[in-house]
Amino acid sequence: MSAAPANEPTFRQSVDLMFNRAVALVNLSPGLEEKIRVCNATYTVRFGVRLRGGIQTFTGYRSVHSEHMEPVKGGIRFAPSVNQDEVEALAALMTYKCALVEAPFGGSKGGLCIDPRDYDDHELELITRRFAYELIKRDLINPSQNVPAPDMGTGEREMAWIADQYARMNTTDINARACVTGKPLNAGGIAGRVEATGRGVEYALREFFRHPEDVAAAGLSGTLDGKRVIVQGLGNVGYHAAKFLSEEDGAIITGIIERDGALFDPAGLDVDKVRDWMVTNGGLTGYPDAGHTADGGAVMEAECDILIPAALEGVINLTNAHNIRAPLILEAANGPITAGADDILRARGKVIIPDLFANAGGVTVSYFEWVKNLSHIRFGRMQRRQEEARHELVVGELERLDLAMGDTWNLDPRFKEKYLRGAGELELVRSGLDDTMRTAYQSMREVWHGREDVTDLRTAAFIVAIDRVASSYRAKGL
Ligand code: NAD
């Protein structure tokens, strides 16, 4: 669905150009370099579904970029302009993303050419189940070989249908639920998966702002508090990122761009109110509490501190890269900046937090869900009460000492309440995600600041990822 003009490289070529820039700085044999770059296989399926008194044919893809680790992992996208090039680009990004955040997967991606808004729930279920059937029977959905997740146009509901379809076709597979992630909690999902990618965006920015040197490289200073943020796409990723940044970090969401234009308010938009309006009215048009413009492109170019494209690829391209004013751009979508635009933005001194890191929260929590499914137990179930009991011992002893010393000091009741609460699944998931985002940022940062020939975070991210994928291939004897 690239929004880039036709005279630019395709999405897949764009990813390859970025890969090539980085791999030139890594000491690999040309054969291994080529092995890592190429997409291993792409399966195309055309299948018919009986709908509305006739048969409709749909086209879907599942691409496997690299199997240096299995299962391979990557979302399934439902959008009218899904095509082979796009699915292969997204699968390649998954390979590098998983390596960067140390999720033990190869890279894959799937897509179905469909506008989900054209179908009712029952029809979508029939179509999703049929697509899943085609992939399952070729092991392109399988807990140990290929594990999809949600992406644009899909969510928990579609993942539940896919999981159920797999279970119907593999009645004795005890690990059936691990065939797909992003499921609802009551169908084998994990707490915190829906918010995970947006939450990861928040953790990524928090880590960035912990390093004053990096913040200064973007011409900014201070913390996230008070920073003006423009978000494109108020779907799963964009909504959660905007919500958390405004509610928890003091950022001001000054602009929201959607399919039908944009809202802009220098004083800050109420993210939940905008989202509610959008869900009820199908777009931003008519929103009563902020100015609306049909020209979303103009708001992309508006002044702000952080621009977060969270909708689709190719939206910052040769036509607008010269006009982007944000000094810091965080790629919450996959591939929102084309290779050509990336060159221009870097030359203009912009700092770009790249997609393979910035939106890795989704696959990170998917990894936790897959582990949960394979271990057949909720995280925290064994430790939570034991942890609480140990904390109670400490608090009890402190209170005894307090009494013995004549009531000279008291434990703050809020401290007590917080300290006594053992970690449940959601707290553990957030802690694991935070740790992953911090560690991955630091590994990129070491390369960014540690090598003279690396001047941007994207190249640094690719170098870290390529090194790790290469080590896996070498360990296999390639
Ligand atoms: P989504 O379908 O929930 O939301 C996409 C939003 O973008 C929708 O609100 C849609 O109306 C809007 N949009 C579509 N076209 C637009 C346009 N031309 N201009 C402005 N807005 C437009 O999808 P999502 O899951 O939030 O995914 C968004 C991006 O994040 C994609 O690039 C996806 O690959 C990436 N991503 C998603 C996840 C995940 O966990 N869902 C994980 C990693 C990366």
**DSSP track, 437-476:** HHHHHHHHHHHHHH-TT--SHHHHHHHHHHHHHHHHHHHT
Is residue 308 over pLDDT 60?
yes
Q: Which of 300, 331, 361 is the last residue of a domain?
A: 361
Domain co-membership, 157 together with 238 = no
Q: Is residue 101 part of a domain?
A: yes
Domain co-membership, 125 together with 204 = no
Which residue has its alpha carbon closest to ligand 1 atom 35? Answer: 333
173: CATH: 3.40.50.10860
Question: What pLDDT does 7 receive?
Answer: 84
Is residue 307 over pLDDT 90?
yes
Domain co-membership, 83 together with 210 = no
The DSSP element (H or E) to which 200 belongs, if any, is helix 196-209
Question: What pLDDT does 439 receive?
Answer: 98
> What spacing in Å lies between the alpha carbon of 138 and ligand 1's midpoint?
28
Beta bridge partners of 55: 50
Domain co-membership, 174 together with 235 = no
Q: What percent of the chain shows pLDDT beyond 90?
A: 92
Domain co-membership, 354 together with 294 = yes
Q: Is residue 134 part of a domain?
A: yes
Q: Is residue 127 part of a domain?
A: yes
pLDDT in tens, 66-82: 999 999 999 999 999 99
Pairing of strands 252-258, 228-232: parallel
> What spacing in Å lies between the alpha carbon of 326 and ligand 1's midpoint?
20
Q: Which of 343, 361, 379 is the last residue of a domain?
A: 361
CA angle 202–362–136, rounded 5-degree value: 170
Q: Which of 361, 387, 413 is the last residue of a domain?
A: 361
pTM: 0.96
Q: Which of 94, 206, 126 is nearest to 215 (CA)?
A: 206
The binding-site residues of ligand 1, defined as CB within 6 angstroms of any ligand atom, are: 150-153, 197, 232-238, 257-259, 296, 310-312, 332-334, 359, 362
Q: Is residue 423 part of a domain?
A: no
pLDDT in tens, 323-332: 999 999 999 9
> What spacing in Å lies between the alpha carbon of 77 and ligand 1's midpoint?
10
Of the listed ranges 17-21, 78-82, 359-363, 397-401, the one predicted with least confidence: 397-401
Domain co-membership, 313 together with 353 = yes
Domain co-membership, 117 together with 172 = yes
Ligand 1 pocket test, pick from 76, 77, 151 with the greatest ligand atom count within 8 Å of Cβ, gives 151
Neighbours of 48 (CB within 10 A): 11
- Domain of 287? 196-361
> What spacing in Å lies between the alpha carbon of 79 and ligand 1's midpoint?
10
Q: Is residue 65 part of a domain?
A: yes
Question: What pLDDT does 2 receive?
Answer: 61
Domain co-membership, 145 together with 203 = no
Domain co-membership, 210 together with 112 = no
Q: What is the mean pLDDT of residues 45-65?
A: 97
Domain co-membership, 290 together with 332 = yes
Q: Is residue 288 part of a domain?
A: yes
pLDDT band at 229; cut points 50, 70, 90: very high
Domain count, the chain: 2
Q: Is residue 2 part of a domain?
A: no
Q: Is residue 469 part of a domain?
A: no
Domain co-membership, 92 together with 174 = yes
CA 41 to chain centre: 23
Atom of ligand 1 nearest to the CA of 182: 40
